Amino acid sequence: SPTGPAGATTGHRSASSARAPAAVSLGLVADGLLRRRKGGAVDFDDPFLGRAALASTGTSWREAPRVHGPASPAPRGHAADGPAPEGRTAVGQTSPADRAAVGAALARGAGHRADRLGPPAGVRGLSTLARGRAQLVRGLAALAGGPVMHAHEALLQAAELLRGRAPVEASDARFLAMEAAWAGGDVAACLAALDGGEEVRGLERDFAEGLSAALTVRLDEARTALTRVVQGDGGADDPRLLLRAGSAALVIGDTAAAARIHARALVRARAEHRTALLPHALEQLAYAELRAGRYGRAARAAREGLRTAESTGQYNVAAHQHAVLALVASVAGDGPAVAEHAGRALAAAGPHGLVQAATLAEWALARDEMGRGLAAQAAARLGPLVLPGPRGGHFALRMLVVPCFVEAAVAAGRVAEAREAAGEYAAWAALGVDGPARAQSARCRALLAEGEAAAYWFREAVRHHDGCGNDFERARTLLAYGAWLRRRRRPGDARGPLRDALVTFERAAAEGWAAHARSELRATGGATGGAAGFGAPRELTPQQQRIVRLVARGATNREVADRLSLSPRTVDHHLRGVFARLGIRSRVELPGVVEGWDADARPAAR
């Protein structure tokens, strides 16, 4: 999703100043949302949840009698400033039993069903502010574990009720409503949530306007506004604002900034004990690392996020984490893990309308099928995901799925569909909203081209990959290029790209893809585990040859970078390519390589 949760800021509610009715507090303790203190008192680690749960009862716990047993006198509600009218209770016009039932249902994450328990007359009797906060907590509960479009409606209602009375909470409710609509894949609902928030100012206004512009394909406006948000890191150390800044970075395609900002949001959420924010921060961090191609980091964040989501009852977030883990498993070629995580994501996605999680899970299943050579099955699964409109995949993921669909469709003989999808993808890649898109667009064109045109587009794809940093996608392109060369009976030319791809796959622990690369390499007659002899200098670029000779003389990457006016990262990238092309595993073998080159270059003795 593009935004993290937007918990409002409030003071920490201590046990001495905020005692809850026992029926409510016991349910919250059971779900891990309240912490027991010495002496039997309980309080919230997360202040936003504290205020939201307080509002759900329609009463000020600060005014409630201290609770020492299972039964509690009804405290005075926000709407009852004087004596209660005859025939009605004094607690927000609702009986203590009904209030306890509503509060317990909300505390158990059943807020999307809690409305059925509370009498409408009692709800209408509350003040506008109290009703707004009650709707806010219902929306939060549905967003955590219910249908996300129900959450969207409740949160929009909360925003309207809170407007002018609690502007920070009204703003948060709108952003949360947008988050719900994003998870549900509903562009119109996202725009409805972003519209009308007059109380939003500064970088939050930039975020709302930039995201609206992106959703309506006004990309220049979107970049301008969202870049200000990213550069300002959300404007504060508040984790909810940092999560929005990280989301802005993802929308404009800056995955490095997104990962950095989301990691900072996670640190702040932990430092402030913002329990409810942790799963969302980890969700966003996992997705940013996934987009950047750093699959190991994505898996670590997703596993931790899954644990925290399940422990706090945020099952919709858990579904998204399962989908991320399924995608990571598809890279590693772990079919059983893909099936398990994708199955769990889809089980929650269906009843709760989680279109984003469902699209990621289906994508993972298709990638696993491609890795097992089931191209036709993968193309059939991916076909609906690349379609526009409500019957297609998630609007923010549709284009990201296209390169996989093109590859599967070409292999399955569905060339016309692949060509149409590749054409749309090329137009999208030209907009510059995704770093690896130009490289992957060139790969799509190579897969669809004939003759030497394919070789040209494969080389273009590799050139673009070298500047965008996603090594895994670069290796996939090299594998496809090497396989194309081998099929055209050019085994010598194929070995270099295939070896380079193999090294990258092995380093990424992408065993399924590594096995494919080994198979292709063996088919060329090349060794898959190193070679007795080393390649000729002509197999390397002039720049690579210069780097090899400097490293062979003992230079470090930093020294080579200074000597050749390069960055250390570029030197490391070139060395990995050298290792793959020459069939060696470390820099200590390079002196022998250079000696072999020089020996071959000397004239034979007479």
CATH no. for residue 578?
A: 1.10.10.10
Domain assignment present for residue 328? The answer is no
Q: For residue 143, which of 283, 20, 22, 333 has the smallest C-alpha distance?
A: 283
Crossing angle of helices 568-582 and 557-564, rounded to 10°: 110
Tell me, yes or no, whether 546 lies in a domain.
Answer: yes
The structure tokens 């898996």 sit at 299
Q: In the prediction, which pLDDT does 374 show?
A: 86
Residues of the chain with pLDDT under 70: 1-126, 197-200, 234-236, 526-536, 583, 585, 599-606
- pLDDT number for residue 281: 93
Domain boundary among 148, 178, 200: 200
Residue located via tokens 């479009």: 149
What digits encode the pLDDT tens for the residues 105-124?
A: 444 444 444 444 443 455 45
The pLDDT value given to residue 603: 56
What's the CA gap between 260 and 258, in Å, rounded? 5
Question: Is 601 a domain residue?
Answer: yes
Contact 428, 396 (CB under 8 A): no
Determine the Cα–Cα distance for residues 574 and 590; give it in Å rounded to an integer: 13
pLDDT reported for residue 602: 57
The three-state secondary structure class of 77 is strand
> Within 10 Å of residue 500's Cβ, how many Cβ atoms?
24
**36, part of any domain:** yes
User: Looking at residue 600, what is its pLDDT?
Assistant: 60
CB atoms within 10 A of CB 128: 16
Taken as a whole, the chain contains a residue count of 606
Domain that holds residue 149: 1-200
- Backbone torsions φ then ψ of 24, nearest 5 degrees: -75, -50
Q: Under DSSP, is residue 34 helix (H, G, I), strand (E, B) or coil? A: strand
- Single out the residue in 155, 182, 200 at which a domain terminates: 200
Q: What is the pLDDT of residue 527?
A: 56
- Residue 598 maps to a domain: yes
How many domains would you assign to the chain?
2
User: CA 250, 251, 254, 257 torsion: positive or negative?
Assistant: negative
Tell whether 563 is covered by a domain: yes
CA nearest neighbour of 301 among 314, 316, 315, 320: 320
Query: Which among 172, 200, 228 is the end of a domain?
Result: 200
Q: Is residue 6 part of a domain?
A: yes
Q: Is residue 181 in a domain?
A: yes
> Quick count: other Cβ atoms within 10 Å of Cβ 195?
11
Res 6: pLDDT: 36
Contacts 24+ apart (CB under 8 A), 426-433: 428/399, 431/219, 432/253, 433/219, 433/251, 433/252, 433/253
pLDDT in tens, 30-64: 445 456 666 655 565 555 455 445 444 444 333 33
pLDDT number for residue 65: 34
Answering whether pTM is above 0.85, one says no
Determine the pLDDT at residue 165. 85
Task: Find where tokens 């975020």 sit.
Answer: 207
User: How far does the chain reach from its first CA to its final CA, in angstroms?
Assistant: 73
